[in-house]
């Protein structure tokens, strides 16, 4: 089994509305996302998947929708306080914790990867020394 990993960076703000503490307020992170895919064999081009193709998929389904956005749980309070803002808001069904963000990312990527390629691992750094990981 072969694997490749590509690393992405993006800026996103969020708030954890159900949290009692500093994270209940809007704040931002410089996220770093490691995307690892795997497959049984390389193709005719001698690659598992061209890094350029992986980059485009991740950019389209993950980075573009949330980069420089405010991620919020869709609930009554957030919709009232932020719903009329003329800002880029990405609404989630759950609180935008690193763990829930990874679940959303994994779902998005698994739908877009070629059939012979499988998502193996996602590692999302919220800070330089704090990350969450999704693994199949």
pLDDT of 1 reads 87
2-135 CATH: 3.30.479.10
Residues with active-site annotation: 23, 68, 126
pLDDT of 117 reads 96
Q: What is the mean pLDDT of residues 73-86?
A: 92
The side-by-side arrangement of strands in the sheet containing 69-73 is: 89-92, 69-73, 2-14, 27-39, 118-127, 130-135
pLDDT of 41 reads 85
Which residues fall in the annotated binding site for Zn(2+)?
Answer: 14, 27, 29
- Whether the pTM exceeds 0.85: the reply is yes
């Amino acid at each position: 089994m072969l694997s490749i990993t590509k690393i992405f960076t993006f800026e996103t703000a969020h708030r954890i509305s159900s949290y009692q503490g500093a994270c209940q307020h809007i704040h931002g992170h410089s996220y770093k996302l490691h995307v690892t895919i795997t497959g049984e064999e390389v193709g005719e081009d001698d690659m598992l998947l061209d890094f350029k193709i992986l980059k485009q998929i991740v950019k389209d389904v993950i980075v573009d929708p949330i980069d420089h956005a405010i991620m919020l749980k869709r609930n009554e309070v957030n919709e009232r306080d932020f719903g009329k803002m003329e800002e880029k808001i990405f609404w989630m069904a759950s609180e935008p914790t690193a763990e829930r963000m990874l679940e959303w990312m994994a779902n998005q990527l698994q739908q877009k990867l070629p059939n012979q390629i499988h998502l193996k691992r996602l590692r999302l750094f919220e800070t330089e020394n704090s990350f969450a990981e999704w693994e199949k």
